[in-house]
Amino acid sequence: MRLTELTLMNFINHKKSIIPINHLNVFQGQNTSGKTAIADSLRWLIAGPGRNMTKAADRQNERNLVSLGENSATVLGVFNSSNNETVKIMKTVKNDASIPKIRLKIDDKERSILQSEIYQLFNMSDKDERKITALMNADRFIELNSSDRKQFLFDLMGITLTEELLLKEFQKFEIPEDLHKVLLNTILTSKFEKAEEWAVSKRITKKRDKGNLDLTVPADFAVNYKAMKMSVSQISLKSLQEDIASLQQSVNELRVVFGKSTQIVEQNGVTEMLKKINDLGIKIIAEGQIFEKYQSSDELKKKIDELKDKYTKADVFISENNGKIQMFKKEIKDLNDRKIALEKIGDAAAACPVCGNEMTEKVIEKLKADTENDIKQLSDKVAKTNKEVEDLSAQQTKDSETLRQLESVLEQFKTAQTNIENWSAQKKQLEDERVGKKQEYDEAKRKIDQAKIDIDKNEKAIAVLTDLKLKVNTYQQQSATAQKNTELAKKLTAEIELYDRIAKLLSPKGEIINDILLMAIHPMQQHLDELNNLGLCDTIVLDKDSFLFTVGDRTEAMLDRHGSEYLRLSYIITETICFFSKFPILIFDRIDTLIEDVKLKFQDFLEYIQDQYENIFVFASKNKSGKPPDLDETQASFFWVKSGTVKKV
């Protein structure tokens, strides 16, 4: 797009300046007259925030663009597009630090837009902000470090990264084919920095993997095996396994013998026989306890017969005494009768006056006394005899119970004798049978005991060999691991070296990027050489390693930032960036210093570059002659700037 008119309202020291714009526009005026404000207005309108402007406009704070005492500042640019449309861009900023407002009007259609849409009008995008910044002010490019310059120039020259281009570089530097795909994807989607980070990350990972490898070779040691000292490294796991299997087979066979012998012992019956014999012996002893009092049944029978005889005699005695008692009772009765008769005689005598006398009474009394005495004596005999009969009867009762018990014991005695005889016969029979099976039992028991010893011995041997097998296996595994890890460490070392080489190739100073950037540097250097041929200044060369400019024999770092050489370099950088960006507007500030210090007609330089741009702006203080530069007035407009006012000459 071509700028045809520029209006500044309350912008820095311009209250209101309406400037008709030509193809070439030369602004002259003293310092602080407002020339730089015009350049800043262009930069602010097109490039955006204040950081893209000079320090004079306080690029850190857009509020300082507003004239003192005013509320807002406005810049209006009227452009003519390639489609012959009138495009108006108006940007306004207030002094309250609010975001600037931008209005766009194309023909009769007007609307609010964002800064990014201004970029689009000039065929650029937000991604080109750094390029826009630099082309509007060369200082911004000069301030970039080498790495950022390299990427800037790469973007500026529009070098398109293609698989074909990258594959040629990979093949040139012998990068393995299996890494081509991941490197292509990373570079094409995320630029070289991510690819370098990927290679560095892979190198770190491989280095960590190598550091984690156990390269320790286990120490060999001797053990007892097959009755000799042998080195672990000499022992065969197969031989060990065969020995263990053989011992296990022996254990299995011994367990079979153990099982069969145990079965024989269990089925032999010797133990049961012995138990039965013992049980019978206990029963016989228990039954024999009945003989402790009586040695034989004859003795018991004799005791019974004696008791029976005593019982019979007691019966006779009781019978006889019972007879005596009856006799005594009869006599007592007779005596009582006699007593009664005497009492009657006495009563009769007493009643008879004839026969009643003292003698008679005495006789009768004596007879009665004698009779009572006889009755008493007989009664005592009856009581005594009754007592003897009762005692004997009681004793007879006890003897009867004893007799019953003895007869019962006799029956038990007979039963015990029978049982003892039977049990003794059974015991003898079992003992005879046990003698027959004892030999078989003892042999089976011996085999069981021997099998236990042999099984224990073999199992201990198996445990020892199993432990040895574990040691041998561990040794062999550790040895194999150490050998494997050693080989892997060699492989990882090679991979570490490979990824280190790839990282260096892809680094900002790497050969791959240098190769590709040379494609950008070559046409740029050709352009610089063409400018050099105009004699604008000493030969300018762009260093391919540092991406710094050299003017003659001095680097840009050696140049005075306020001197003419630095200014000339900044003009060339600005023109070069604009040239390759195909940006339509070119701004040169303080150009009079260049014209006065270099014996050169500036018109030659402008004639060389003017066909490349829609608008060229040249800002200069008054030259020594007080006249404007010698330029073709048909292609140029001259303006005097003074105290914020612009006047066309």
pLDDT tens per residue, range 412-445:
777 777 887 888 888 888 777 777 777 887 888 8
User: Do the beta carbons of residue 466 and residue 243 sit within 8 Å?
Assistant: no
Taking 60 as the threshold, does the pLDDT of residue 56 lie above it?
no
Question: To which H or E segment does residue 85 belong?
Answer: none
What DSSP designation does 353 have? T
In the Cβ-directed half-sphere of 259, how many Cα atoms lie within 13 Å?
6
In this structure, which amino acid lies at residue 560?
D
Average pLDDT on 100-107 reads 88
User: Do the beta carbons of residue 45 and residue 89 sit within 8 Å?
Assistant: yes
52, two tokens: 């893209």
Average pLDDT on 598-623 reads 72
Taking 50 as the threshold, does the pLDDT of residue 624 lie above it?
no
CA-to-CA separations, 139 to 130, 144, 549, 573, 589, in angstroms, rounded: 12, 9, 13, 9, 12
Measure the CA–CA gap between 267 and 154, rounded to whole angstroms.
Answer: 102
Predicted pLDDT at 58: 42
pLDDT band at 55 (very low <50, low <70, confident <90, very high): very low
Measure the CA–CA gap between 165 and 19, rounded to whole angstroms.
Answer: 49
User: Do the beta carbons of residue 23 and residue 610 sit within 8 Å?
Assistant: yes
Measure the CA–CA gap between 575 and 567, rounded to whole angstroms.
Answer: 12
In the Cβ-directed half-sphere of 142, how many Cα atoms lie within 13 Å?
21
Residues of the chain above pLDDT 70, percent: 86
Predicted pLDDT at 593: 60
pTM of the full structure: 0.49
User: Do the beta carbons of residue 103 and residue 112 sit within 8 Å?
Assistant: yes
Average pLDDT on 267-271 reads 71
Q: Map 127-139 to HEC letters.
A: HHHHHHHHHHCHH
Taking 70 as the threshold, does the pLDDT of residue 228 lie above it?
yes
Predicted pLDDT at 623: 53
CA-to-CA separations, 327 to 111, 298, 337, 367, 381, in angstroms, rounded: 173, 43, 15, 22, 11
Measure the CA–CA gap between 493 and 203, rounded to whole angstroms.
Answer: 10
445 class by beta-carbon count within 10 Å (0-12 exposed, 13-18 middle, 19+ buried): middle
Compute how many other C-beta atoms are within 10 angstroms of the C-beta atom of residue 347. Answer: 11
Among the listed residues 233, 211, 213, 214, the one whose alpha carbon sits nearest the alpha carbon of residue 222: 233
In this structure, which amino acid lies at residue 104?
L
> 524-581, pLDDT tens digit by residue?
777 777 777 766 666 777 776 677 778 777 877 787 777 777 777 777 787 777 777 7
Predicted pLDDT at 595: 57
Q: Which has more pLDDT, 72 or 348? A: 72
Q: Kindly report the CA angle at 524 between 521 and 525, in degrees rounded to 5?
A: 80
Predicted pLDDT at 59: 41
495, two tokens: 């991979």
User: Do the beta carbons of residue 87 and residue 118 sit within 8 Å?
Assistant: no
* 86 beta partners: 80
Average pLDDT on 314-331 reads 79
Predicted pLDDT at 245: 92
pLDDT band at 594 (very low <50, low <70, confident <90, very high): low
Lowest mean pLDDT among 508-517, 542-551, 623-632: 623-632
The CATH architecture assigned to 265-505 reads Orthogonal Bundle (1.10)
Predicted pLDDT at 116: 83
> 140-171, pLDDT tens digit by residue?
777 777 777 777 777 777 666 778 878 888 88
> 284-322, pLDDT tens digit by residue?
777 766 666 665 667 767 777 777 777 777 777 778 877
Q: Which residues contact 628 (CB under 8 A, 6 or more apart)?
A: 26, 28, 638, 649
Most trustworthy range by pLDDT among 61-65, 183-187, 347-351 = 183-187
Instruction: For domain 1-122+584-649, say whether CATH 3.40.50.300 is its number.
Output: yes
- The domain locations on the chain are 1-122+584-649, 265-505
Predicted pLDDT at 87: 93
- Looking at every residue in the chain, the average pLDDT score rounds to 80
Question: Rounded to an integer, what is the distance from CA 106 to the centroid of its chain?
Answer: 64
What DSSP designation does 351 have? H
User: Do the beta carbons of residue 105 and residue 77 sit within 8 Å?
Assistant: no
Q: Which has more pLDDT, 645 or 596? A: 645
Compute how many other C-beta atoms are within 10 angstroms of the C-beta atom of residue 74. Answer: 22
CA-to-CA separations, 32 to 136, 620, 642, 646, in angstroms, rounded: 20, 12, 8, 13
Question: Rounded to an integer, what is the distance from CA 479 to the centroid of its chain?
Answer: 31
Predicted pLDDT at 74: 95
pLDDT band at 137 (very low <50, low <70, confident <90, very high): low
Phi/psi of residue 73, each to 5°? -125, 145
Question: To which H or E segment does residue 234 belong?
Answer: none
In this structure, which amino acid lies at residue 122?
F
What DSSP designation does 610 have? G
Name the one residue in this structure whose structure tokens are 């010698």: 630
Phi/psi of residue 17, each to 5°? -130, 120
Measure the CA–CA gap between 416 and 412, rounded to whole angstroms.
Answer: 6
User: Do the beta carbons of residue 514 and residue 544 sit within 8 Å?
Assistant: yes
Find the length of the chain.
649
531, two tokens: 């400018």
Taking 60 as the threshold, does the pLDDT of residue 629 lie above it?
no
Q: Which has more pLDDT, 589 or 353? A: 589
330 class by beta-carbon count within 10 Å (0-12 exposed, 13-18 middle, 19+ buried): exposed
**Reduced to 3 DSSP states, what percent helix, strand and coil does the chain have, rounded to the nearest 5?**
65, 15, 20
Q: Which has more pLDDT, 501 or 600? A: 501
Terminal C-alpha separation, the chain? 25
> 380-415, pLDDT tens digit by residue?
888 888 887 787 777 777 777 777 777 777 777 777
Average pLDDT on 469-483 reads 89
Radius of gyration, alpha carbons of the chain? 74
Measure the CA–CA gap between 646 and 28, rounded to whole angstroms.
Answer: 10
